[in-house]
Amino acid sequence: MPRIFSGVQPTNNIHVGNYLGAIRNWLELQTSNDCIFCVVDLHALTVYQKPEILRQNILNVAKTYLALGVDPKKSIIFVQSDVKEHAELAWILNTIAKTGELERMTQFKDKAKQHKENINLGLFSYPVLMAADILLYDTDGVPVGEDQKQHVELARDLALRFNHLYGETFVVPQPLINRNGARVMGLDDPSKKMSKSAASSFNYIALLDDVKVAEKKIMRAVTDSGSEVKAGIEKPALTNLLTIYSLLADRPIKEIEAEYSGRGYGDFKKGLAKVVVDFLVDFQTKFNNIADAEVKKILDAGAAQARKLAIGKIQEVKEKIGLLI
Ligand code: TYM
């Protein structure tokens, strides 16, 4: 069975973009693939995190996976720092990654601008750790949003480079990016992607947002000129809102356009707010019903399974490069 690996950083509240761009696709993949879903806590450290908040966020991301339908009977769910081989392989891959290629990473450039006071080495080599996550498990497919494509491409390059230097070792992974929802845009600015670190909370709908707040965010979302509810390049804001509606309600965009034809933006936003609120209520009910102890048990079991795979791979890597005497 093909191997799938993906993860989310426990930096803040997971938002609708993370769900529609990535996690929603995991749910389908887990039925016919060998899936591993990770809470990538070591990645989160590249930006300063308050320890007690990080601890809570790690648990919340795992709970979010479960509440959205990631099934621990089908998929391995674990926390990155519980399997030390990630950091070990990252170091080895650091020695074949070029500083020039890391300087070209758009996420690094953006984050370096945002955190001028803390452009640390971890932030710079972040994509190498991500490559280690992926390559450690002989991953075939990496379901992510559009913004992570460049990082998966680096993982491919590093796999090929390592294989060329030391012989066939790593599977060369493919990014799996859906046509719809791969780049959910900010509600307050449809020219930029929805982001956890946006300056205004009106940019995103967090999965744990109070439903009244979420409703307000939809009603305040930026729209395009005109009044027709239609997707298209000339209507980036409406295209984004229609995409969110379509994916959450599981209905084609054309059908939604037809329903709101001649009714204007206000009516459409009310309809979208209802779809979003229904989704959030369902999610939050499930989320709140999962006990911390239950998640910890699942994460412990997941780490044990992941560790077994990781130890085998790192052993092979060490042999190939001459570290095991
Ligand atoms: P992170 O935590 O920023 O985001 C998690 C996932 O959500 C997707 N995403 C979006 N999709 C659509 N529209 C958006 N506005 C949007 N914002 C975020 C991301 O593409 C991602 O799939 N580096 C990764 C985490 C990571 C990882 C990995 C992923 C670390 N190691 C190995 C895959 C495999 C990140 O920061 O994602």
pLDDT score at 174: 98
**Has residue 294 got a pLDDT over 80?**
yes
pLDDT score at 222: 97
Instruction: Please tell me the distance between residue 320's alpha carbon and the centre of ligand 1 in angstroms.
Output: 31
* pLDDT tens readout for residues 125-180: 999 999 999 999 999 999 999 999 999 999 999 999 999 999 999 999 999 999 99
Instruction: Please tell me the distance between residue 310's alpha carbon and the centre of ligand 1 in angstroms.
Output: 22
**Has residue 12 got a pLDDT over 80?**
no
pLDDT score at 119: 93
Mean pLDDT, residues 77-105 taken together: 98
Mean pLDDT, residues 95-106 taken together: 97
Nearest atom, ligand 1, residue 148 CA: 20
User: What positions carry a catalytic annotation?
Assistant: 111, 193, 196
What proportion of the chain, given as a percentage, has pLDDT over 90? 95
pLDDT score at 114: 87
Counting ligand 1 atoms within 8 A of each CB, the residue from 3, 61, 144 with the most, and so the one to mutate, is 144
Closest residue (by CA) to atom 20 of ligand 1?
Answer: 145
* pLDDT tens readout for residues 180-200: 999 999 999 999 999 988 889
Nearest atom, ligand 1, residue 194 CA: 15
Mean pLDDT, residues 305-315 taken together: 98
Whether residue 24 has its Cβ less than 6 Å from ligand 1: no
Band of the pLDDT at 6, cuts 50, 70, 90?
Answer: very high
pLDDT score at 197: 83
pLDDT score at 125: 97
Band of the pLDDT at 82, cuts 50, 70, 90?
Answer: very high
The CA dihedral of 126, 59, 21, 111, to the nearest 10 degrees, is -30
